[in-house]
A and B are shown apart, each in its own frame.
Chain A
Amino acid sequence: MDRDTRVYDDIFQLLPSEENPTPLVRINALAPAAGFDLFAKLEWMNPFGSVKDRAASFLIRSLEAQGKLSGERGMVEPTSGNTGLSLAVMASAKGYPMRAVVPDKVPLTKKALLKMAGAELDVINDNLCPAPGLGEGSIAIAKTHAKAQPDRYAMPNQYENTENTRAHEETTGPEIWRQTGGKITHFFASLGTAGTIVGTGRYLKRKNPDIKLIVVVPDEGHDVPGLRTPAELATTNLFEEDLVDEIVEVEGELAFRTALELIRKEGLLAGPSSGLIFEGARRVLSRDPDAVRGGVGVALFCDDAFKYVDSFIKHVPELAEDTAP
């Protein structure tokens, strides 16, 4: 491995760490407050394309360390998105079987992506009058496989496994601290499993308790893939509300419009969750620009736009206009 020439022995050497951080890129044209440096942390520069590479690699490493993975004994995980893709690619490259339990409502392209990565799919109808407090169906089925066939499956369980938060405490947090020279004053992230905000937040607050941790969430009924509202957080055990300074709710629709602004004005190919997080950061910072002058913010951009073209078209219908001769 030679980081200077960027020559690596295998793809795993690209996984992020304090020495090999994902880039921070300054927001310029869309800067929300004069005298405040807001940076986007480009998590799509991770080797498998999203912030979830961090949790997924820690989850796999931990199962490996416990001797739970082999050519015969693989993983089962409820996932429709980035964690599944990341786990599936890594599992395939390492020779472990991977079974992804996916709700039927997940778009075909995402299911196909998992299969492209070598995962076996278990598609279930998750949507039948979901009731408050019930475990999501896909989580229950994945747990069932792991419990009924422990010799075939280990379950990483990103929603409960503290390796998820540890990944961010040991990588995302230290990276940001070093990249900003300890000057960070605001950190913006969203909520899926809550691993990012809790892990990164813990590290940053240890370094400087005055750093503001701000969670941006979509409103009820949103359609932003991978994100949850606080009300939907029953699914995860990892959230620590006391750690967070502020929760900002943003209309889910704006995730798509704002992502387009980032693409067109900053050259950042932001996916919808990045759009939402940036919108939240913009609101918080423009509320009282004088109060944040001189500060440094980092907004975590989870992944890029490519996987979400269908969602963009659905929410921004004019994207489909004038696309035929």
Chain B
Amino acid sequence: MTDYANTDVLVTTDWVKQHMDDASIKLVEVDVDTKAYDAGHIPGSVGFNWETELQDQVSRDILSKEDFERLIGGAGIAPGDTVVLYGDHNNWFAAYAFWLFKLYGHEDVRMMNGGRQKWLDEDDKPLTVDPTPLTPKAYEAKDADLSLRARVMDVLKIVEAGDHNLVDVRSTDEFTGKVIAPPGMSETAQRGGHIPGAASVPWASAVQSDGTFKSADDLRAIYFDGAGVDAGKPTVAYCRIGERSSHTWFVLKYLLGLENVRNYDGSWTEYGSMVGVPIERGTAHARKAEPATA
């Protein structure tokens, strides 16, 4: 059995428990359910709201460098700190925040394997409702590393050239165009289907029933052998609004060690609303989702 390509980006719940009092370890919770942090969080952690704090509030975009610096510095995090992210839904938005931290050049970012649910399920792991006292710091971010981000123009070139792996991490029904978005979602698109040439590998294929990532061997079998991702080519992952694809981006780049992986954060809500772009429907390239549980 082989190990993940990068072992230092993933920490266990036990590791977090041992280190949660270290001053240089900053725990950050980011949840899909923005009320979850207030209901209870790991002592000493800060909570970011993905809707109001992790994206630009005027234009549809990621946080500007200045806003990122303000947010991270305000949370008492310094550039040399170790940031450990965790969240609900198997770390969806924790992965999005991970991507953002890396985009702005934070050196030491890690993810708590299994996320919030695993911590919750383990009896020896405490939660609190006490607010975490914060001492704001001056945080200077690096310029955005755009090699981690794909924009729609990049994607259109890729569709034409066919020289990338495109990985669609949405559900099979979204991929085939049966539905445009999961029921009840406010963020949607004008058309259903997928980007031509994309392989369907729903994000949940990467995790086990306890929410932790599958082994490197299993992941390799799923992405390389099963879905035909060519490790020699650059890769772009996308979903609906860019959070589930951050999860797969993390798997491909850090756990499987692919050199060039970008997250297309505009994802289907952007691509599926563009006028005149090619769309594919149906099951071509579809690969059956492997459920997270048996």
Contacts and interface: CB of A to CB of B under 8 A. Distances in A.
Interface string A103-129: 001000000000000000010110111
A201 B292 CA distance: 31
Contacts of A135: 117
A134 B39 contact: no
A64 to B, nearest CB: 23
Given A132-B204, A133-B209, A137-B33, A144 B182 contact: no
Given A127-B182, A128-B182, A129-B182, A134 B36 contact: no
B102 interface: no
A105 B35 contact: no
Interface stretch (A145-153, A251-259, A289-297): A145-153
Given A131-B90, A145-B39, A140 B185 contact: no
Interface string B178-214: 0000111100000000000000000110010101000
B216 interface: no
B182 A133 contact: no
B89 A148 contact: no
Contact of A134 (B184, B211, B244): B211
A132 B292 contact: yes
B88 A133 contact: no
Contact of B35 (A124, A127, A131, A132): A124
Contacts of A31: none
**Most chain B CB atoms below 10 A, which of A129, A130, A144, A145:** A129
Interface string B155-199: 000000000000000010000000000111100000000000000
A127 B293 contact: no
Interface in B38-77: 39-41
A149 B40 contact: yes
A131 B244 CA distance: 11
B129 interface: yes
A169 to B, nearest CB: 27
A129 B32 CA distance: 10
A133 B36 contact: no
A135 B129 CA distance: 21
Contacts of B129: 148-149
B184 to A, nearest CB: 4
Contacts of B203: 131
Contacts of B41: 148
A141 B211 CA distance: 16
Contact of A132 (B36, B40, B291): B291
Interface in A205-226: none
Given A144-B120, A148-B129, A127 B40 contact: no
B117 A140 contact: yes
A168 interface: no
B24 interface: no
Nearest to B184: A127
Nearest to A150: B127
B39 A128 contact: no
A268 to B, nearest CB: 33
Interface in B87-112: 88-90
B33 A141 contact: yes
A131 B203 CA distance: 9
Give 9 nearest A-B pairs by CB, closest first. Answer: A148-B40, A133-B292, A133-B293, A132-B291, A148-B127, A144-B40, A127-B184, A144-B39, A133-B209
Given A128-B182, A134-B211, A147-B120, 19 more contacts: A127-B184, A128-B184, A129-B244, A131-B89, A131-B90, A131-B203, A132-B291, A133-B204, A133-B291, A133-B292, A134-B90, A140-B88, A141-B35, A143-B120, A144-B120, A145-B39, A145-B40, A148-B129, A149-B40
29 contacts: A122-B35, A124-B33, A124-B35, A128-B32, A128-B33, A128-B184, A128-B185, A129-B89, A129-B185, A129-B244, A131-B204, A131-B292, A132-B291, A133-B204, A133-B209, A133-B211, A133-B292, A133-B293, A134-B89, A134-B90, A137-B88, A140-B120, A141-B35, A141-B36, A141-B39, A147-B120, A148-B41, A148-B129, A149-B40
